[in-house]
Amino acid sequence: MNAKVEFFFDLSSPWTCLAFHNIRPVVAKHGAAIVWRPILVGGVFNAVNPAVYAAREDMRGPKARHYAKSLKDWAALAGVTMRFPSPHHPLKSVLAMRACCALEEDQDALEHFAEAAFTAYFTGQANLDDPAILAGIADAAGFDGQALIARTQEQAVKDRLRSNTEEVIARGGYGSPSIFVNGDDMYFGNDQLPLIEAKIKAAR
């Protein structure tokens, strides 16, 4: 049978942006089904991976310099124009991820909006935490931006974001993107896509 891939993501992560672009041709090539699952990565870090915050405090050491080089190399390989870090990094992504949750039941719409938001943040350095800017991004992508922003205040949408975040933590996730193949086989990050592709091929 064809594999099912669940992609738990937060728009604020540069590696998630790359994985978002890179995983789509993989699943299309092998006929896998992909399900986009918005989460709040800050909630994940607070619960199970607080060391991330300490690592952000020193961005001048050799590891940080190589991190920046690796990110540029991966972006070039993926054909993604990435201007990172932006003035808004680290991004407060609650509003943007609620907007994603408001669209989650329409997976095509969610994918389209996520692509527009990733481009706005990582190429255009837009502040996704600004309701007016986020609405403008949605408008440009063919959505009703004001209506989408209004939906981010609905309790059901807030609850969905919380539930998705709690779910990925319960399943062993510790950041974004957390990717699951056929339920319980977890992978993390853009660099594990070759392993994901091998698993998808094996499932066929």
Q: What is the structure's pLDDT at 124?
A: 98
In one letter, which amino acid is 157?
A: V
d(C-alpha 26, C-alpha 29), whole Å: 5
Please determine, looking at this structure, whether the domain spanning 4-203 carries the CATH number 3.40.50.2300. no
The residue assigned the tokens 């738990």 is 8
* The token pair that represents 184 in the structure block: 């319980």
Residues 180-190 have pLDDT tens digits of 999 999 999 99
Residues 128-176 have pLDDT tens digits of 999 999 999 999 999 999 999 999 999 999 999 999 999 999 999 999 9
d(C-alpha 38, C-alpha 26), whole Å: 20
Residues 61-105 have pLDDT tens digits of 787 788 889 999 999 999 999 999 999 999 999 999 999 999 999
Angle at 115 between CA 110 and CA 119, to 5 degrees: 145
d(C-alpha 62, C-alpha 114), whole Å: 32
SS (H, E, C) 65-109: HHHHHHHHHHHHHHCCCCCCCCCCCCCCCHHHHHHHHHCCCCHHH
Identify which of 7, 5, 9, 12 has the alpha carbon closest to the alpha carbon of residue 38: 9
Q: What is the structure's pLDDT at 32?
A: 97
pTM of the model: 0.94
- pLDDT grade for 43, boundaries at 50, 70 and 90: very high
Q: What is the structure's pLDDT at 195?
A: 98
Q: What is the structure's pLDDT at 22?
A: 98
